[in-house]
Amino acid sequence: MGAVLICSQSQAETPYYIESMGIRLYSMEELAYFLYENIYLVDKRMLGEHLWDWIRTEVGNTELAERLKKGMEAGSSMQNMVLTILRNVDYYTQEELAELSAKMKVLNTYQEQERLKLRADEYFINGNYQAAIYEYERILDIRQSGRLGVDFYAHVWNNLGVCYCRLFLFRKASRAFRTSYQYQKDPEVLKEYVYAMRLGLSEEDFEEAMDLQKIRGEQLKELTDEYDRLAEEAGEHLRIEADLPKRLYELEREYYKNTRYV
Protein backbone atom coordinates (compact mmCIF):
# COMPACT_ATOMS: atom_id res chain seq x y z
CA MET A 1 0.00 0.00 0.00
CA GLY A 2 1.42 3.42 -0.99
CA ALA A 3 2.32 6.15 1.45
CA VAL A 4 0.00 9.09 2.01
CA LEU A 5 1.47 12.37 0.74
CA ILE A 6 0.20 15.52 2.43
CA CYS A 7 -0.18 18.74 0.43
CA SER A 8 2.00 21.32 2.16
CA GLN A 9 1.35 24.32 -0.11
CA SER A 10 -1.72 26.53 -0.26
CA GLN A 11 -4.88 25.16 -1.82
CA ALA A 12 -6.38 27.37 -4.51
CA GLU A 13 -9.96 28.61 -4.28
CA THR A 14 -10.16 28.72 -8.08
CA PRO A 15 -8.70 25.61 -9.74
CA TYR A 16 -6.35 25.46 -12.69
CA TYR A 17 -8.45 23.92 -15.45
CA ILE A 18 -6.89 21.50 -17.97
CA GLU A 19 -9.50 21.89 -20.70
CA SER A 20 -8.37 19.03 -22.91
CA MET A 21 -8.73 16.57 -20.01
CA GLY A 22 -11.62 18.18 -18.13
CA ILE A 23 -9.49 18.22 -14.97
CA ARG A 24 -9.43 20.84 -12.22
CA LEU A 25 -6.29 21.15 -10.08
CA TYR A 26 -6.45 22.82 -6.67
CA SER A 27 -2.85 22.59 -5.47
CA MET A 28 0.74 22.53 -6.68
CA GLU A 29 0.95 18.89 -5.63
CA GLU A 30 -1.95 18.04 -7.92
CA LEU A 31 -0.28 19.99 -10.72
CA ALA A 32 2.97 18.11 -10.15
CA TYR A 33 1.16 14.77 -10.21
CA PHE A 34 -0.62 15.66 -13.45
CA LEU A 35 2.62 16.72 -15.17
CA TYR A 36 4.49 13.64 -14.01
CA GLU A 37 1.80 11.14 -14.96
CA ASN A 38 0.75 12.80 -18.25
CA ILE A 39 4.02 14.05 -19.69
CA TYR A 40 2.94 13.14 -23.24
CA LEU A 41 0.03 15.59 -22.94
CA VAL A 42 2.15 18.52 -21.79
CA ASP A 43 3.11 21.25 -24.22
CA LYS A 44 4.37 24.82 -23.86
CA ARG A 45 0.87 26.17 -24.32
CA MET A 46 -0.17 24.34 -21.17
CA LEU A 47 2.78 25.90 -19.31
CA GLY A 48 2.03 29.42 -20.51
CA GLU A 49 0.63 32.64 -19.14
CA HIS A 50 -2.59 31.14 -17.79
CA LEU A 51 -0.57 28.81 -15.56
CA TRP A 52 1.76 31.58 -14.34
CA ASP A 53 -1.22 33.72 -13.37
CA TRP A 54 -2.79 30.83 -11.48
CA ILE A 55 0.42 30.08 -9.59
CA ARG A 56 0.85 33.75 -8.75
CA THR A 57 -2.70 34.68 -7.77
CA GLU A 58 -4.25 31.43 -6.54
CA VAL A 59 -1.28 29.60 -5.02
CA GLY A 60 0.64 32.71 -3.99
CA ASN A 61 3.99 31.55 -5.38
CA THR A 62 5.11 34.72 -7.17
CA GLU A 63 8.74 33.59 -7.37
CA LEU A 64 7.92 30.40 -9.28
CA ALA A 65 5.51 32.26 -11.58
CA GLU A 66 8.25 34.76 -12.48
CA ARG A 67 10.80 31.99 -13.05
CA LEU A 68 8.44 30.24 -15.47
CA LYS A 69 7.62 33.51 -17.24
CA LYS A 70 11.29 34.43 -17.69
CA GLY A 71 12.11 30.89 -18.74
CA MET A 72 9.44 30.94 -21.44
CA GLU A 73 10.57 34.35 -22.69
CA ALA A 74 14.19 33.12 -22.81
CA GLY A 75 13.17 30.07 -24.86
CA SER A 76 13.63 27.50 -22.09
CA SER A 77 12.81 23.93 -23.06
CA MET A 78 9.61 22.27 -21.92
CA GLN A 79 11.76 19.77 -20.03
CA ASN A 80 13.38 22.53 -17.95
CA MET A 81 10.03 24.18 -17.22
CA VAL A 82 8.41 20.93 -16.07
CA LEU A 83 11.37 20.10 -13.83
CA THR A 84 11.33 23.65 -12.41
CA ILE A 85 7.75 23.10 -11.26
CA LEU A 86 8.34 19.61 -9.88
CA ARG A 87 11.46 20.59 -7.95
CA ASN A 88 9.59 23.52 -6.42
CA VAL A 89 6.84 21.25 -5.14
CA ASP A 90 9.12 18.62 -3.56
CA TYR A 91 6.58 15.88 -4.30
CA TYR A 92 8.88 13.43 -6.15
CA THR A 93 12.25 11.98 -5.24
CA GLN A 94 15.43 12.83 -7.13
CA GLU A 95 15.40 9.34 -8.64
CA GLU A 96 11.86 9.83 -9.95
CA LEU A 97 12.77 13.21 -11.40
CA ALA A 98 15.81 11.68 -13.09
CA GLU A 99 13.59 9.01 -14.66
CA LEU A 100 11.19 11.66 -15.92
CA SER A 101 14.05 13.74 -17.29
CA ALA A 102 15.36 10.71 -19.20
CA LYS A 103 11.88 10.05 -20.61
CA MET A 104 11.61 13.66 -21.82
CA LYS A 105 15.07 13.49 -23.41
CA VAL A 106 13.97 10.45 -25.41
CA LEU A 107 10.77 12.29 -26.33
CA ASN A 108 12.86 15.15 -27.71
CA THR A 109 14.44 12.76 -30.23
CA TYR A 110 11.05 11.92 -31.74
CA GLN A 111 9.68 13.56 -34.85
CA GLU A 112 6.78 15.93 -34.36
CA GLN A 113 4.30 13.40 -35.74
CA GLU A 114 5.46 10.79 -33.22
CA ARG A 115 5.06 13.20 -30.30
CA LEU A 116 1.59 14.17 -31.50
CA LYS A 117 0.59 10.52 -31.76
CA LEU A 118 1.69 9.84 -28.19
CA ARG A 119 -0.49 12.74 -27.08
CA ALA A 120 -3.41 11.67 -29.26
CA ASP A 121 -3.18 8.10 -27.97
CA GLU A 122 -3.28 9.36 -24.37
CA TYR A 123 -6.45 11.35 -25.12
CA PHE A 124 -7.91 8.29 -26.83
CA ILE A 125 -7.16 6.01 -23.88
CA ASN A 126 -8.77 8.52 -21.51
CA GLY A 127 -11.92 8.73 -23.64
CA ASN A 128 -11.30 12.31 -24.87
CA TYR A 129 -12.16 11.42 -28.45
CA GLN A 130 -12.58 14.92 -29.84
CA ALA A 131 -9.20 15.95 -28.44
CA ALA A 132 -7.66 12.80 -29.91
CA ILE A 133 -9.22 13.55 -33.31
CA TYR A 134 -7.71 17.05 -33.23
CA GLU A 135 -4.22 15.64 -32.60
CA TYR A 136 -4.53 12.83 -35.16
CA GLU A 137 -5.62 15.35 -37.77
CA ARG A 138 -2.65 17.55 -36.92
CA ILE A 139 -0.41 14.59 -37.74
CA LEU A 140 -2.09 14.11 -41.10
CA ASP A 141 -1.74 17.82 -41.91
CA ILE A 142 2.06 17.49 -41.70
CA ARG A 143 3.97 16.27 -44.72
CA GLN A 144 4.41 12.52 -44.45
CA SER A 145 7.74 11.22 -43.20
CA GLY A 146 9.23 8.26 -45.03
CA ARG A 147 11.14 7.31 -41.88
CA LEU A 148 7.92 6.66 -39.98
CA GLY A 149 6.67 4.17 -42.57
CA VAL A 150 3.22 3.05 -43.66
CA ASP A 151 2.56 1.20 -40.40
CA PHE A 152 2.63 4.48 -38.46
CA TYR A 153 0.11 6.20 -40.74
CA ALA A 154 -2.09 3.11 -40.92
CA HIS A 155 -2.37 3.21 -37.13
CA VAL A 156 -3.14 6.94 -37.13
CA TRP A 157 -5.98 6.51 -39.62
CA ASN A 158 -7.31 3.46 -37.79
CA ASN A 159 -7.33 5.22 -34.41
CA LEU A 160 -8.99 8.23 -36.02
CA GLY A 161 -11.70 5.91 -37.34
CA VAL A 162 -12.27 4.41 -33.90
CA CYS A 163 -12.62 7.91 -32.42
CA TYR A 164 -15.24 8.80 -35.02
CA CYS A 165 -17.11 5.57 -34.24
CA ARG A 166 -17.15 6.41 -30.54
CA LEU A 167 -18.81 9.70 -31.47
CA PHE A 168 -21.29 7.90 -33.81
CA LEU A 169 -19.78 9.58 -36.90
CA PHE A 170 -19.84 6.38 -38.91
CA ARG A 171 -19.34 7.80 -42.39
CA LYS A 172 -16.23 9.67 -41.30
CA ALA A 173 -15.11 6.55 -39.51
CA SER A 174 -15.53 4.40 -42.60
CA ARG A 175 -13.42 6.80 -44.68
CA ALA A 176 -10.68 6.68 -42.04
CA PHE A 177 -10.75 2.89 -41.90
CA ARG A 178 -10.64 2.64 -45.68
CA THR A 179 -7.59 4.91 -45.80
CA SER A 180 -5.91 2.86 -43.08
CA TYR A 181 -6.56 -0.30 -45.10
CA GLN A 182 -5.05 1.31 -48.17
CA TYR A 183 -1.84 1.88 -46.21
CA GLN A 184 -1.77 -1.61 -44.75
CA LYS A 185 -3.98 -4.53 -45.74
CA ASP A 186 -5.01 -5.52 -42.21
CA PRO A 187 -8.08 -7.82 -42.17
CA GLU A 188 -9.19 -6.35 -38.84
CA VAL A 189 -9.26 -2.85 -40.32
CA LEU A 190 -11.28 -4.11 -43.29
CA LYS A 191 -13.73 -5.55 -40.78
CA GLU A 192 -13.93 -2.17 -39.00
CA TYR A 193 -14.56 -0.46 -42.34
CA VAL A 194 -17.42 -2.80 -43.25
CA TYR A 195 -19.01 -2.47 -39.80
CA ALA A 196 -18.81 1.33 -39.88
CA MET A 197 -20.43 1.35 -43.32
CA ARG A 198 -23.14 -1.00 -42.08
CA LEU A 199 -23.87 1.31 -39.15
CA GLY A 200 -23.86 4.48 -41.24
CA LEU A 201 -25.81 3.42 -44.33
CA SER A 202 -29.18 2.02 -45.24
CA GLU A 203 -29.30 -1.62 -46.35
CA GLU A 204 -29.54 -0.64 -50.01
CA ASP A 205 -26.73 1.91 -49.86
CA PHE A 206 -24.56 -0.52 -47.91
CA GLU A 207 -24.91 -3.23 -50.53
CA GLU A 208 -24.13 -0.74 -53.30
CA ALA A 209 -21.05 0.52 -51.42
CA MET A 210 -19.76 -3.00 -50.84
CA ASP A 211 -20.18 -3.79 -54.52
CA LEU A 212 -18.23 -0.67 -55.48
CA GLN A 213 -15.44 -1.69 -53.10
CA LYS A 214 -15.51 -5.22 -54.58
CA ILE A 215 -16.34 -6.78 -51.23
CA ARG A 216 -18.71 -9.49 -52.36
CA GLY A 217 -19.72 -13.10 -52.11
CA GLU A 218 -18.36 -15.27 -49.34
CA GLN A 219 -16.12 -12.52 -47.97
CA LEU A 220 -19.04 -10.13 -47.50
CA LYS A 221 -21.25 -12.89 -46.07
CA GLU A 222 -18.62 -13.81 -43.50
CA LEU A 223 -18.24 -10.19 -42.40
CA THR A 224 -21.95 -9.43 -42.23
CA ASP A 225 -22.68 -12.70 -40.40
CA GLU A 226 -20.21 -11.73 -37.71
CA TYR A 227 -21.70 -8.22 -37.57
CA ASP A 228 -25.17 -9.70 -37.06
CA ARG A 229 -23.86 -12.01 -34.35
CA LEU A 230 -22.19 -9.12 -32.49
CA ALA A 231 -25.31 -6.98 -32.82
CA GLU A 232 -27.40 -9.79 -31.34
CA GLU A 233 -24.97 -10.26 -28.45
CA ALA A 234 -25.01 -6.52 -27.76
CA GLY A 235 -28.77 -6.67 -27.47
CA GLU A 236 -28.42 -8.92 -24.44
CA HIS A 237 -26.71 -6.08 -22.58
CA LEU A 238 -29.36 -3.46 -23.25
CA ARG A 239 -31.20 -2.49 -20.10
CA ILE A 240 -33.11 0.35 -18.51
CA GLU A 241 -30.92 2.22 -16.05
CA ALA A 242 -32.06 1.93 -12.45
CA ASP A 243 -31.05 5.55 -11.78
CA LEU A 244 -31.89 7.19 -15.11
CA PRO A 245 -31.27 10.85 -14.03
CA LYS A 246 -27.79 9.92 -12.82
CA ARG A 247 -26.99 8.10 -16.05
CA LEU A 248 -28.24 11.03 -18.14
CA TYR A 249 -26.02 13.36 -16.12
CA GLU A 250 -23.01 11.09 -16.77
CA LEU A 251 -23.76 11.03 -20.50
CA GLU A 252 -24.15 14.81 -20.55
CA ARG A 253 -20.73 15.24 -18.92
CA GLU A 254 -19.15 12.79 -21.36
CA TYR A 255 -20.73 14.62 -24.30
CA TYR A 256 -19.43 17.95 -23.02
CA LYS A 257 -15.94 16.51 -22.57
CA ASN A 258 -15.87 15.36 -26.18
CA THR A 259 -17.32 18.48 -27.81
CA ARG A 260 -15.71 21.39 -25.98
CA TYR A 261 -12.16 20.83 -27.28
CA VAL A 262 -10.95 23.32 -29.88
Tell me the one-letter amino acid at 116.
Answer: L
CA 82 to CA 105: how far, in whole Å?
Answer: 12
pLDDT digits (tens, 9 = 90+) for 123-150: 999 888 998 999 999 999 998 888 899 9
Q: The domain containing residue 134 runs over which residues?
A: 112-259
In this prediction, residue 245 has a pLDDT band, given cuts at 50, 70 and 90, of low
Q: What's the distance, Cα to Cα, between the start and end of the chain in Å?
A: 39
The percentage of residues in the chain with a pLDDT greater than 90, rounded to a whole number, is 35
In this prediction, residue 255 has a pLDDT band, given cuts at 50, 70 and 90, of low
Q: 128 and 22 in contact (C-beta within 8 Å)?
A: yes
Same domain, 37 and 55: yes
Same domain, 146 and 252: yes
Mean pLDDT of the chain: 84
Q: pTM value?
A: 0.74
Same domain, 101 and 207: no
Any domain includes 7: no
CB atoms within 10 A of CB 177: 28
CA 109 to CA 174: how far, in whole Å?
Answer: 33
CA 226 to CA 191: how far, in whole Å?
Answer: 9
| Number of domains the chain is built from | 2
pLDDT for the residue numbered 251: 66
